[in-house]
Amino acid sequence: MLRKLGVLQNIERYAVIPNNIAIHRYTDGRILSEQNLLPHCGSVYGSPYLLIHRADFHYVLASAAKQLGVKIQLNSAVKGVDFDKPGLELDDGTVVQGDVVIAADGLRSQCREALLGGKAPPIPKRTLVYRVTLDPAYLMKHEDLESLVDYPEIHYWIGARSFFALNGTPSNFAVLGPHSHVVFYPLREREPCNLIIVAPDTTTEFENSSKANLSEIKELTKNWEPRIKKMMGMVASSTKWRLQENMEMENWTSKQGTFTMLGDACHAIIPYLYVGLIYKIKYD
Ligand SMILES: Cc1cc2nc3c(=O)[nH]c(=O)nc-3n(C[C@H](O)[C@H](O)[C@H](O)COP(=O)(O)OP(=O)(O)OC[C@H]3O[C@@H](n4cnc5c(N)ncnc54)[C@H](O)[C@@H]3O)c2cc1C
């Protein structure tokens, strides 16, 4: 798809190409499974597996669009959709008309509610994602963490029943040990690496995202292998997100055929398989 759009070469300039996906046992870091990505993806699928920061991805796509003469207008919140014209009403009252409207306004899409003709709030999935970034310079100071920076790979540490528990109910969580998984991956060469912890959502108050208390994530990983505990000790701050999906829609396109939807606005899915963006660019 990216090659077809003529942007793959530019995307590759910003992306990191991981060598493997390694799945580790959470208690001792032992490798349970390894999937080769380089050169496997290139030889089997014709393109490498790429990790790219969202801002770099947007930059490359927006630059290519501008070169084609696309006018991008920022700071324009949509408050209404006219499915007949078709057109959009912005929050300052301006009306914008076009040949087609493609709505990609995310999980809390107002356009989805306009198409469905009523409220359609996201559905919480009882799962939290904590995200921290780690400075590679600090990681490089530790012999056992050096290879995480030097040799780009995606690392998963899985706890007992991680994946089952994440799809289960809170009562399952209570009896099945550490029900979380941790993922570590680089996004830009020599820049902060991402580390995320996916864990059961035990909060009662509703918040989409908030600052995480560092003791929460240390507690979650207190029995994990030494490298994880060491990395947790380096964390200065963390944000947590409550994962949500949206209801399945019968149709993403208006009956007039001049309005359609794209991305999380119409098919938000839980991102722990790292497929949100892939679905967005591949299938829409
Ligand atoms: C914690 C977390 C981690 C994730 N990690 C990954 C990952 O590693 N890899 C991956 O592929 N996916 C990941 N995802 C999923 C991924 O973020 C989404 O699938 C992806 O961002 C969807 O893109 P989108 O453009 O459809 O929506 P969004 O990225 O949500 O963009 C919607 C845009 O619409 C704008 N908008 C909203 N309302 C209006 C309005 N009324 N008028 C005008 N503009 C409006 C918003 O400001 C925003 O810019 C993750 C999600 C979460 C929550």
Check for a shared fold between 78-121+247-283 and 123-245.
Answer: no
238-245/31-36 β-pairing: unpaired
Of 5-14, 169-178, 201-210, give the lowest mean pLDDT range. 169-178
Q: What is the pLDDT of residues 22-71, one digit of tens each?
A: 999 999 999 989 999 999 999 999 989 999 999 999 999 999 999 999 99
The percentage of the chain sitting over the pLDDT mark of 90, rounded to a whole number, equals 66
State the distance from the centre of ligand 1 to the C-alpha of 152, rounded, in angstroms: 25
State the distance from the centre of ligand 1 to the C-alpha of 275, rounded, in angstroms: 12
pLDDT at 79: 96
**Distance separating the N- and C-terminal Cα atoms of the chain:** 11
Query: In this structure, which residue's CA is closest to atom 41 in ligand 1?
Result: 78
Residue-by-residue DSSP string for 58-101? HHHHHHHHHHTT-----S--EEEEETTTTEEEETTS-EEE-S-E
Residue-by-residue DSSP string for 232-256? HHH---EEEEEEEE----S-SS-TT
C-alpha distances in angstroms, 80 versus 85, 87, 92, 122?
A: 12, 9, 11, 19
CATH code: domain 123-245 is 3.30.9.30
240 backbone dihedrals φ, ψ, rounded to 5°: -120, 145
- Ligand 1 binding pocket, CB closer than 6 Å: 77-78, 104-107, 110, 129, 131, 241, 263-265, 271, 274, 276-278, 280
- Look at residue 277 and tell me whether its pLDDT is greater than 80: no
Cα 48 from Cα 10, distance rounded (Å): 14
The neighbouring-strand residues paired with 123 are 245
pLDDT at 272: 57
pLDDT, mean over the chain:
87
Better-scored residue on pLDDT, 182 or 202: 182
Cβ atoms 26, 62 nearer than 8 A: no
CATH code: domain 78-121+247-283 is 3.50.50.60
Average pLDDT over residues 228-252: 92
pLDDT at 21: 92
pLDDT at 160: 63
Of 153-157, 222-226, 276-280, give the lowest mean pLDDT range. 276-280
State the distance from the centre of ligand 1 to the C-alpha of 107, rounded, in angstroms: 7
Among 105, 110, 128, 166, say which to mutate for ligand 1: greatest number of ligand atoms within 8 Å of CB: 105
- Look at residue 170 and tell me whether its pLDDT is greater than 90: no
HEC-encoded secondary structure of 149-190: HHCCCEEEEECCCHHHHHHCCHHHHCCCCCCCEEEEECCCCC
pLDDT at 165: 41
The reported pTM is 0.87
Q: Domain residues of the chain, as ranges?
A: 78-121+247-283, 123-245
pLDDT at 177: 35
- Look at residue 169 and tell me whether its pLDDT is greater than 60: no
